[in-house]
Amino acid sequence: MKPHVDTDKASPDLSDNGQGDEIAELRRKLALAERRIETSEARHRAVLDSAVDYAIIVMDMKGMITQWSEGAYRILGWTESEILGKPADCIFTPGDRQKNVPASEMQVALTLGRASDERWHMRKNGTTFWASGEMMPLLDIEGSVAGLIKVLRDRTKEREAAEKIRQNAQFLRSVLASSGDCIKVLDLDAKLLFMSEGGQRVMEVSDFNAIKGCLWPDFWYGNGHAAALEALQVARTGGVGHFQGLAVTMNGTSKWWDVQVTPILDANGKPERLLAVSRDVTEVYEARERIELALNAGAVAGTWIWDIQADRFTGDHRFARTCCLDPAQLAAGLPFGEILASIHPSDRAGVEDSLAKAIKEGNRYFLEYRVRQPDGSWLWVEASGHCERNFDDKPYRFPGALVDIDRRKRHEMRREALLELGETLRALSETADENAMAHAAAEAMGRTLNVSRAGYGDVDETQDLVTVEQDWCADPSIISIVGQHRITRHGHYGELLKRGEIVSIADIEKDPYTQNHSEPLQAIGIRALLNVPLMQSGRFVALLFLNNTTPRVWTDDEIAFVRAVADRTWAAMEQAEAETKLRQLNQTLETEVAARTADRNRLWQLSNDIMLIATMEGKIIAINPAWTEMLGWENDDLIGSNILDILHPDDLAVTVAGRKDIAAGRTLMRFENRYRHKLGGYRWISWTAGPGDGLLIGVGRDVTEEKERIAALKQTEEQLRQSQKMEAVGQLTGGLAHDFNNLLTGINGSLELLQIRIAQGRIKDVDRYINAAQGAAKRAAALTHRLLAFSRRQTLDPKPTNINELVQGMEELIQRAVGLEITVAPIVEGKELWSTMVDPGQLENALLNLCINARDAMSDGGKITIKTGNHWFDQRETTDLGLAPGPYVSLCISDTGIGMTSDVAAKAFDPFFTTKPIGQGTGLGLSMIYGFVKQSGGQVRIYSEIGQGTTVCLYLPRYYGVTETPETLPDLKNTPRAEQGETVLVVDDEPTVRMLVTELLEDLDYTAVVAADGPAALEILQSDIRVDLLVTDVGLPGGLNGRQVADAARVARPALKVLFITGYAERAVIDRGHLDRGMHVLTKPFTMEALASRIKSLISD
C-alpha cells in the first residue's frame, strides 16, 4: 500500500516567506519514494516467481493460503486464483491430514522457528510426489509473526534413485547367494566374519554362527595351512595371495580349493579387512593328480628299455642328451656298463644295488643319482622303472624313465647345508672360536657347491689387504692360499667389494675385471671366482670367497646360498664377540653392584629429595630422612600406612591412574601431586617414579614455590601477550572500518547495477559487475581471516615458514596499525628466500609490535622498511652473534626515527626496561620477542644511532624441508564430474547455503540429498540411501551438531567421508575434538571452486 500524505494539512502555506519551493521539493521526493516502493514490491514478486524449481506458499495463522508462487503452480498444479483462501492442508496426503501432520508442522515452525520435512504430497490432479521442504514463521516489519511460509522442492527422482540403489543391493545379495564360490570376509587377524550363502552351501555349513570368529587358516590341512598363512600375509601388505589346498566341509567331505585372498581397503587405501574367495577344484585336482602320476612314469628327461638277457640298453634322444651319450649308438643299443660309466662314481654302487634288488624282488625301481654333463659338471636325476618277467618268471625286460631333479635336489642340499651350518655355528659360539666358524662356513659352501676352494679372509681396506688364516680345499691337489693377498693384484673389482657388491666371475680370462690379471689368479688355481663382501657400519671388513679351477657360471641360487652362509656366519661371529664381552662384563658386576649399593645408601640418607618404596597398592615400605625435613613426617608415622592417606583429595584420580601406569611397567617423569604436611597445608611434589622388583620406587622434589612462580608468570605473560595483541588490533580498527565500508560499497553497488542491467536487458555488462562484487567479497574475507588469525589466543606450533609470504600477508595490517602518515616499504629477498622453522603466529606478533615501536619513534611521520634476506655466517660472524656457523634467514625492521643511544640499545631487551612514559609501555615487548627468537634457535640485534633511526634484525636458522604451498583451485567449469550414482548428503540450517551447495552438486552430476538439522540428517544416514560423502555445517538446530551427526553416522557407515563447512567461530567445536580419519574441514566463506574441488578429491580418495 502506498503511503498517503495530506499535503493540505501537512504544513501551513509558507510561500509567502520563501519556503514554498522547499515544500514542493519534499513532495517530489515523497512521490519518488512511493514509486521505488512499488518497484521493489514488483521486483520481489518477480524474484519469487522466478524460483520455478521451488513451491513457495504463504499462509495466515489459520493455515489459509494467502500467496502462491509460480513454482507452486508448476509443482502442485493449482493456479494462484484457484488456491488463494483455501486451507494449506490440501497439499498433504489424506493419511497425513488424518494424522494432523499439517497442524503439527505449523506448531513446530512457530515453536522452534523452523520445521523441516520430507514426505509425500498431493497435486491438484490427485497424484503424489516426494518433496523436501521447510515451514517458517513470516514476520512483519515490526518483527511480529504475521503468518507462515512453506518452501517445497520435488525430490521424487532422488527418492526413486535411492530405491533403485536398494534394489541393486538386494540383487547383489542374490548374486552372492547363487554363486558356487565360497566368499568369505576376514578381519586382519584372519578371523571369519562373513560367508556368502553360496559358500555356506558348498562348505555344507548349517549354522554359520557356530564357526563365526574362528581362525580361517585352521580349516586347512597339510601344506594348505602354511599356504593360507602366507597368502594372508601377502594380502595384509596390499598384495593378492593365491594358493591351492585341502579343506574339509562341515559334514566331513574332503575338497580341494583354489583360493585367492585380497585386501579390502579403507578410505585411506590401507587394508582393513580381507576377502577370501575359494572355488571347489576337486575334480580338476584329481584329474591333474592322475596326469602327474602318469608323467612320473612317462618320459621327462628320457626313457629307456634294458633287455636284461641280451644286456642291450636302448633309450630315446632325451636320455642320450641327459647322460651325454651318442643318440645313434643308444638307439641301436649299448651294454649296461657304458650307461653305468656316465653315472657319478660315488653313485654307481647304489644304482647297481637298487637295480639288482628290483630285479630280484620285483619291486619298483626308484633312485636319485648324478650323471655327467658336457662341461664336466653333474646333473641330478630321478630314475624310476620296473622289471618285467617272461612266462618262465625270468627277468627279461626293464623299462624306465628319467626326471631332471637337479634344481630341487640342489635346493634341498643347500637348505640342509644351511641347517647343518647353523647347528655347527651354535656349537662353536660357546667357545667364540671365530676361525673355526669361518672354516665351517667355507667347508659348507665348498662341499655343497662342489667348488675347488672356499675360505674367509679379514680385510684391511686402508692397506688393500686380505688376510686368509684358513681355507678349505676339495682335494690335496688344490693348493692352499693361506696368507696375505693384495686385492688390486687380482683384478679391478676392489671398488665393487668396497661398495658391498658381490663379485661373480665365470671365467677370469674373459671377464673385463680380471682378463689383464689372469696370470696371478691361474698361478693359485683360480679360473672362476665368487667373492661376497661382509660390511660393518658401511665398511668392507671381511670376505667370503669361492674358487674353481675350471670356468663356471654362478647361478642366482648359488649366489643367494653363499649370501645366506655369509649372513649367518657373520651374525654368529658378532654374537660370539658380544657374548665374550658380556662374560667379561659379568666378571666385574659384583664389585660394581656393591659400590652402587653403597652409593645408593649414602644417597638415601643425604638426599634433600624425598624417596619412597611402596607396594603397587600404595602401602609404604620405606622412606628416607628427607620426609621429615620436607613434610614433617617421621619414619614411624608413615611405615605401614598408605601413601594415599596424606594425598590431596583432588589429586586422587590422577594419582591412581599414574599408579596403574607404573604397575604396567612404565616410568613416570615429572609426575606432580600434592601431599599434606604434618603441621597442615599441602606441598606440591614432582615425582620420578617407576616399577622395581614388583614395588613402586619414587623420588620426589618439592616444587610448591616453583609452581607458584610459574603460575604467576604465565598469568602475567598471557595478560601481557593478549593486551599487546588487542592494542595492535585497536590500532587497526579505524582503518578496517574504512576498508570494509569501501568493500561493502563495491559489493552493494555492483549488485544494484547488476540488477538494473539485467532489468534493462544489458547482459554484456553482467560479468564486469559480478567480478567486481566477487573481488571485493574475497578481499573482505581475506582481511577478516587475517584479523582473526592475528587476534587468536592459542599458541601455534612451529612450522616451515616463508617469511616473504608472511610479510606480504601482514603488509596491509601493518599499514593500518602505523597510520597513513608513515610509509611501509617491504624489501623482500630478490632471489628465492630460504624457509625457516618458526611459529608464524609469534613471528607475526613480533613483526607488528616492532613496527608499532618504530611508529612511536617517528611522531612526525617517516618510513618503515621491512627487509628479508639469506645469510651464511662463518665462525667469526657467528661468534659475534652467539650463533652456530651456517645458513640463516634475516628479518630486519628499520625506521627513520629519533634513534637511541648505545646505553639504551644495550638495555632494550631487558625485562621491564622502557623509555616510554608511565602507562604507555610495559618494557616486556622486546624482551618477549628476544625470548621467542632465542627459543627458535636464532638471535636478535639492534643497530641504532641518535638522529639516524633504528634497525632491529631477527636472524632465524634455515629450514631445509619443504614449505607448504597454497592449493591451486581449478576453474569450476573444468571441475571433473561425478561418477554414476555418487550421492552427497548436504546438512545446513541456512536455506541459501543448502540451495547453493545443492545447485553446485547437480551441476557436477552428483545426486544431492539435503537435510536442515541433525535429526533429519541422521534419519537419512541410518536408512539404505547411498551416501558417498556427508557435507555438514557444525552448528545445527535440532539438538545435534554436525560433529555429533558425523560420529553417529559412522556407527552404521564406518567408512563414511565427512566434510565440515564451518565459520571461524564454530571451528573450535571441531578442533577441540579429535578429527577421525576421513574427516576434513572447509572454512566459510569459501568459493564454489574450492568446494567443488574438495568434494571431488574426497570422493575419489
pLDDT digits (tens, 9 = 90+) for 560-602: 888 888 888 888 888 877 777 777 777 767 677 667 777 777 8
Integer CA distances (angstroms), 484 to 57, 456, 529, 532, 931, in order? 103, 12, 18, 18, 63
Burial label for 350, CB within 10 Å (0-12, 13-18, 19+), is: middle
Among 612-621, 706-715, 800-809, the minimum mean pLDDT is found in 706-715
Q: Which CATH number fits domain 297-404: 3.30.450.20, 3.40.50.2300, 3.40.50.261, 3.30.70.270?
A: 3.30.450.20
Q: Which long-range contacts (CB under 8 A, 24 or more apart) does 781-785 make?
A: 781/1085, 783/736, 783/739, 783/740, 783/743, 783/812, 784/1064, 785/1064
Model pTM score: 0.32
| Nearest C-alpha neighbor of 540 from the set 466, 605, 614 | 466
Helices (H) and strands (E) in the chain, counts: 35, 40
Q: Indicate if the pLDDT at residue 1065 is higher than 50.
A: no
CATH topology of domain 599-702: Beta-Lactamase (3.30.450)
**Average pLDDT for residues 182-209, to the nearest whole number?**
90
- What does 803-819 look like in DSSP terms, one character per residue? HHHHHHHHHHHHHHHH-
pLDDT at 795: 43
- The label of the residue with cell 578481499 reads 779
DSSP 183: E
The full length of the chain comes to 1101
Fold identical between 51-154 and 410-585? yes
pLDDT digits (tens, 9 = 90+) for 481-499: 999 988 877 777 888 888 8
CA distance linking residue 800 with residue 809, whole number of Å:
16
At 939, the amino acid letter reads Q
- What does 142-169 look like in DSSP terms, one character per residue? TS-EEEEEEEEEE-HHHHHHHHHHHHHH
- The label of the residue with cell 636478535 reads 940
pLDDT at 5: 39
Q: Which CATH class is domain 180-281?
A: alpha beta
* Backbone φ, ψ for residue 41 (5° rounding): -65, -40
CA distance linking residue 867 with residue 493, whole number of Å:
56
pLDDT above 70: percentage of residues in the chain: 83
CA distance linking residue 599 with residue 592, whole number of Å:
10
pLDDT at 58: 92
Among 399-413, 570-584, 948-962, the minimum mean pLDDT is found in 570-584
Burial label for 457, CB within 10 Å (0-12, 13-18, 19+), is: buried
**Average pLDDT for residues 329-335, to the nearest whole number?**
92
Q: 1012, 114 in Cβ contact below 8 A? A: yes
- What does 694-734 look like in DSSP terms, one character per residue? TEEEEEEEE-HHHHHHHHHHHHHHHHHHHHHHHHHHHHHHH
Does CATH place domain 972-1100 in 3.40.50.2300?
yes
Who wins on pLDDT, 691 or 839?
Answer: 691
Strands (E), 960-1084: 983-987, 1007-1011, 1029-1032, 1057-1062, 1079-1083
Burial label for 496, CB within 10 Å (0-12, 13-18, 19+), is: middle
Among 102-116, 654-668, 1051-1065, the minimum mean pLDDT is found in 1051-1065
pLDDT at 371: 93
Who wins on pLDDT, 660 or 25?
Answer: 660
Q: Indicate if the pLDDT at residue 786 is higher than 70.
A: no
| Nearest C-alpha neighbor of 941 from the set 855, 896, 898, 877 | 877
pLDDT digits (tens, 9 = 90+) for 338-379: 999 999 998 999 999 999 998 888 778 989 999 998 877 888
Q: Which helix (H) or strand (E) holds 304?
A: strand 302-307
pLDDT at 733: 59
CA trace torsion 428, 434, 440, 445 (10° rounding):
140
CA distance linking residue 535 with residue 990, whole number of Å:
68
pLDDT band with cut points at 50, 70 and 90 for residue 4 = very low
DSSP 471: E
**Maximum separation of any 2 CA atoms in the chain, in Å:** 163
DSSP 642: B
Beta bridge partners of 177: none
Q: 851, 893 in Cβ contact below 8 A? A: yes
At 166, the amino acid letter reads R
Q: Which CATH class is domain 796-966?
A: alpha beta
pLDDT at 611: 92
| Nearest C-alpha neighbor of 502 from the set 532, 546, 536, 457 | 532
Alpha-helical segments (H) within 632-689:
635-638, 652-663
Cβ-based neighbours of 717, under 8 Å, separated by 6 or more: 928
3-state secondary structure of 542: strand
pLDDT digits (tens, 9 = 90+) for 975-1003: 666 677 789 999 988 887 888 888 888 88
CATH topology of domain 410-585: Beta-Lactamase (3.30.450)
pLDDT at 100: 92
Q: Indicate if the pLDDT at residue 879 is higher than 80.
A: no
Give the Cα-Cα-Cα angle 339, 341, 342 (nearest 5 degrees): 70
CA distance linking residue 1022 with residue 169, whole number of Å:
16
User: Which three cell numbers, joined as nine digits, stand for 157?
Assistant: 527422482
Cβ-based neighbours of 299, under 8 Å, separated by 6 or more: 316, 318, 401
Look over the chain and give the mean of its residue pLDDT values, rounded to a whole number.
Answer: 82
User: Which three cell numbers, joined as nine digits, stand for 124?
Assistant: 491438484
Burial label for 190, CB within 10 Å (0-12, 13-18, 19+), is: buried
Who wins on pLDDT, 772 or 877?
Answer: 877
- CATH code for 51-154? 3.30.450.20
| Nearest C-alpha neighbor of 464 from the set 501, 430, 491 | 491
CA distance linking residue 1079 with residue 1101, whole number of Å:
12
In the chain, where the domains are located: 51-154, 180-281, 297-404, 410-585, 599-702, 713-794, 796-966, 972-1100
Rg over alpha carbons for the chain, rounded to the nearest Å, is: 45
Among 429-443, 620-634, 776-790, the minimum mean pLDDT is found in 776-790
Who wins on pLDDT, 745 or 538?
Answer: 538
pLDDT at 38: 58
**Average pLDDT for residues 516-545, to the nearest whole number?**
88
Among 158-162, 405-409, 822-826, 927-931, the minimum mean pLDDT is found in 927-931
Beta bridge partners of 138: 147
**Average pLDDT for residues 6-22, to the nearest whole number?**
48
Please count the other Cβ atoms lying within 10 Å of the Cβ belonging to residue 323: 23
Q: Indicate if the pLDDT at residue 739 is higher than 70.
A: no
3-state secondary structure of 854: helix
CA distance linking residue 168 with residue 73, whole number of Å:
35
- What does 737-804 look like in DSSP terms, one character per residue? HHHHHHHHHHHHHHHHHHHHHHHHT-GGGHHHHHHHHHHHHHHHHHHHHHHHHHH--SPPPPEEE-HH
pLDDT digits (tens, 9 = 90+) for 142-163: 888 889 999 998 888 888 888 8
| Nearest C-alpha neighbor of 159 from the set 754, 769, 1024, 895 | 1024
Among 45-49, 376-380, 626-630, 1015-1019, the minimum mean pLDDT is found in 45-49
